[in-house]
Chain A
Amino acid sequence: MILFEHVTKTYNNNVKALDDVSFHIRKGDFVFVVGHSGAGKSTLTKLILHEEQPDTGYIRVGDFDVTKLSRKMVPYLRRSIGMVFQDFRLLPNKTVYENIAFAMEVIGATQRQIRRRIPDVLSMVGLTMKAKCYPNELSGGEQQRVGIARALANNPQLIVADEPTGNLDDETAWEIMAILDRINKYGTTIIMVTHSQKIVDEMQKRVIAIDRGKIVKDEQGGYTYENQVSEDTVFDFTYTSQKQGYGDILKELEALNINIHHGDE
């Protein structure tokens, strides 16, 4: 389903976002991608969606050779992928139904196809009764379920979920995980980028851990990459390129039980 072979991606500021990354995700897999901010997780999803192109290496997603994809074909790659976002990305002036219909309209689905498909995807996420609601009338969890329904609308083979539970409380996050798990059981491949150790530990799925652009762990099971990190790596806080402050990172590391080494120790 997804194949990365020796993929390297460097941004303008000479930071190696991904460094010789190789992995293979089979059809029907459920894979977590973990790693701290700036480790290269978002670069990974951007490469899958062809929002960025790698410097070297080969990427295949489904039937698409992403590294050689022409501009014209990019939309068709994206039609085969359902995206779920941390911030839901719903249109506030459209109802639940219209939000999902929008995703189908813009790739040229007929009204007939839309009328048939939407009840199906709404029932998959358990929101049949909320079709006429506007996003601001829904809870965060419900909004994310709309986001998932929208991702499913065009019947993708692959769902890429970027921190789908990042803005939700624990209980709601579990609802979302249950839905994603169910979708996976029906055969859809799922890649989920997350920070949540609890979820990863509980789900017991394949975990790809990225640190400083390298895959430091790729195996079935929980969020155990912190061991790897604490043994092999000295954290360098200036390295973090994303908006997160020092305090946030500390909290995050504490949550992961990571021992912080100072450079001179």
Chain B
Amino acid sequence: MPLRNMKYYAGQSLYSVWRNKLMSLISMSTVCFCLILLGVAILIGDNLQYISQQLQAQFEIQAFMDSGASQAQVSEMEKQIKALAGVADVVVETPEEGIEWFKQEVENGAEAFEGLEGENNPLPYCFKVTLSDASQAENIEKSIQSMNQILQVNNRRDVLNSIVHFTKGIRWVSLAGMLIFALIAVFIISNTIKLAVMARSREISIMKSVGATDWFIRWPFIIEGAIVGLIGAVIAFFPVFFGYRGIAHWWSGLLDIVKLVDANAILVYLILAFCLIGIGIGSIGSIMAVRKHLRV
């Protein structure tokens, strides 16, 4: 579309938003409400994921080598495990370190494990595998299990699984809620645009009779919907962002072990998501209205 048309469309759209103040306001509020919900859903989801990542770092899969494996075999195995997808780090614990651990952590260990060093050490080499992605735990475990010279794999999968499920559950619920409100917003915007179409029916009939193209007639309405959606999105951004920043600040003073996602780190991502979804909802609503009520 030529530039001079753009100017015309924008002027028409803004004028129409202003003329239908009340309906525009209602539409904006719905988009705004929908996006606040979406924001809350995104933030909860992101934080749950972030928190579970932090917790995962504290879980590890332990894999034991066959006893009697050579140093070279152990380092070869270490490389293989590191190469698996979802593995954050692998720490090798030598039999000596294992015995030291037992001596220190078990009651009276110093005496009980006396004499098991060196040649007499029954412990195998142990790989302590930390994960970067908890949902991969099962696969990683299976892969390690299937490697040669692995004696046994221990895990904390039950705990990991419940975290993964919980995170996914919250995501789905918030997504469903957001979707419902998005539909309501689309419906209300569609109605607003319908009113705008009717208010301009005379202009439209003149435009048609002098030979304006279909899209020339449609664009201002679609842009109007997009503008309404965008304004709603911008309004929604402020309470979500600053509200979250407040909560994150408060939380950081409260708990130091588990952190929340840094508010400033998600600023751009949040703005972009809000604007795109706002414009999307607005345009879909107006395209529906234009298709239904604008006979061109």
Which residues of A are in contact with B by a Cβ distance under 8 Å? 49, 71-72, 75-83, 85, 89, 91, 102-103, 105-108, 110-111, 150, 153-154
Contact = CB atoms under 8 A, between A and B. Distances in A.
Nearest to A154: B210
B10 to A, nearest CB: 14
22 contacts: A71-B214, A72-B213, A75-B213, A75-B214, A77-B211, A78-B208, A79-B211, A80-B211, A82-B210, A83-B209, A85-B209, A91-B206, A103-B206, A106-B212, A106-B216, A107-B212, A107-B216, A108-B4, A108-B5, A110-B4, A111-B4, A154-B210
Interface string B4-38: 11001000000000000000000000000000000
Nearest to B4: A110
A108 B2 contact: yes
Chain B interface mostly helix, strand, loop or mixed? Answer: helix
Contacts of B2: 108
Contacts of B5: 108
A10 to B, nearest CB: 21
B207 interface: yes
A103 B202 contact: no
Nearest to A105: B8
A102 B217 CA distance: 12
Contacts of B209: 49, 78, 83, 85, 89
A106 B207 contact: yes
Nearest to B217: A106
B203 A76 contact: no
A106 B202 CA distance: 14
Contacts of B4: 108, 110-111
A154 B206 CA distance: 13
Contacts of B213: 72, 75
Interface of B: 2, 4-5, 8, 202-203, 205-214, 216-217
Nearest to A83: B209
A82 B206 CA distance: 11
Nearest to A93: B203
A106 B214 contact: no
A2 B156 CA distance: 85
A106 B4 CA distance: 11
A81 to B, nearest CB: 8
Given A105-B8, A110-B4, A89 B206 contact: yes
A107 B214 contact: no
A107 B210 contact: yes
A107 B214 CA distance: 11
With most chain A CB atoms within 10 A of its CB, the pick from B208, B209, B212, B214 is B209
Nearest to A77: B211
Closest 8 CB pairs of A and B: A79-B211, A78-B211, A106-B212, A75-B211, A103-B210, A83-B209, A75-B213, A106-B207
Given A106-B217, A108-B216, 13 more contacts: A72-B213, A75-B212, A76-B211, A78-B208, A89-B202, A89-B205, A89-B206, A105-B8, A107-B211, A107-B216, A108-B4, A108-B5, A153-B210
With most chain A CB atoms within 10 A of its CB, the pick from B4, B205, B211 is B211
A111 B8 CA distance: 12
Nearest to B204: A106
Contacts of A106: 207, 210, 212, 216-217
Given A106-B216, A108-B5, A110-B4, A91 B203 contact: yes
A150 B216 CA distance: 19
A44 B95 CA distance: 100
Contacts of B212: 75, 106-107
Contacts of A107: 210-212, 216
A39 B96 CA distance: 108
A46 B79 CA distance: 80
Nearest to B210: A103
Nearest to A103: B210
Contacts of B216: 106-108
A75 B2 CA distance: 17
A111 B2 CA distance: 14
A248 to B, nearest CB: 25
A223 to B, nearest CB: 27
A77 B212 CA distance: 11
Contacts of B217: 106
Nearest to B200: A91
Nearest to A79: B211
Nearest to B1: A108
